[in-house]
Copies of this chain bind each other. A is one copy, B any other.
Amino acid sequence: MSVKLTILGSSGAVPAFGRFPTSQYLIVQNRHFLIDAGEGVQMQLARYQIPVHKIDCIFISHLHGDHYLGLMGLLFSMHLHRRVNDLHLYSQPGLDEIILLQLKYSKSVLNYAIHFHVYDPAQQVKIYEDNVLTVETIPLIHKLPCAGFLFRETIKPANLNKQKLKPGMLIQHIAQLKKGADVYDDHGKLLYRNSDFTLPPPTSYAYAFCSDTAWNEAMIEQIKYVNLLYHEATFMDEDKDKARETKHSTTLEAATIAKYAEVDRLLIGHFSARYRDLDLLLNEAKTIFRNSSLAEEGISFEIPHEPNS
Contact = CB atoms under 8 A, between A and B. Distances in A.
Interface of A: 13-16, 18, 20-21, 39-40, 42-43, 46-47, 63-66, 69-70, 72-73, 76-77, 80-81, 94-95, 97-98, 101-102, 104-107, 143-144
Centre residue among A46, A63, A102 by max chain B CB count within 10 A? A102
Contacts of A40: 39-40, 43
A65 B102 contact: yes
A69 B104 CA distance: 14
Nearest to A92: B105
7 interchain residue pairs of minimum CB distance: A94-B105, A39-B73, A63-B105, A65-B76, A40-B40, A69-B73, A14-B77
25 contacts: A14-B77, A14-B81, A15-B42, A20-B43, A21-B73, A39-B39, A39-B42, A39-B43, A40-B40, A40-B43, A63-B105, A63-B106, A65-B72, A65-B102, A66-B73, A66-B76, A69-B72, A94-B104, A94-B105, A95-B105, A97-B101, A98-B98, A98-B102, A106-B144, A107-B143
A21 B105 CA distance: 18
A209 to B, nearest CB: 20
Given A13-B80, A65-B73, A98-B101, 9 more contacts: A14-B77, A14-B81, A15-B73, A18-B47, A39-B40, A39-B69, A39-B70, A69-B72, A95-B105
Nearest to A13: B80
Contacts of A101: 97-98, 101
B43 A15 contact: yes
A80 B20 CA distance: 16
A270 B80 CA distance: 15
A78 to B, nearest CB: 10
Contact of A46 (B13, B15, B105): B15
Contacts of A42: 15, 39
Centre residue among A20, A98, A104 by max chain B CB count within 10 A? A98
Contacts of A65: 72-73, 76, 102, 106
A84 to B, nearest CB: 17
Contacts of A16: 46
A18 B47 CA distance: 8
A156 B47 CA distance: 49
Nearest to A39: B73
Contacts of A47: 18
Nearest to A81: B14
A139 B157 CA distance: 66
B76 A107 contact: no
Contacts of A14: 77, 80-81
Contacts of A144: 106-107
Contacts of A97: 101, 105
Nearest to A42: B15
Nearest to A43: B15
A42 to B, nearest CB: 6
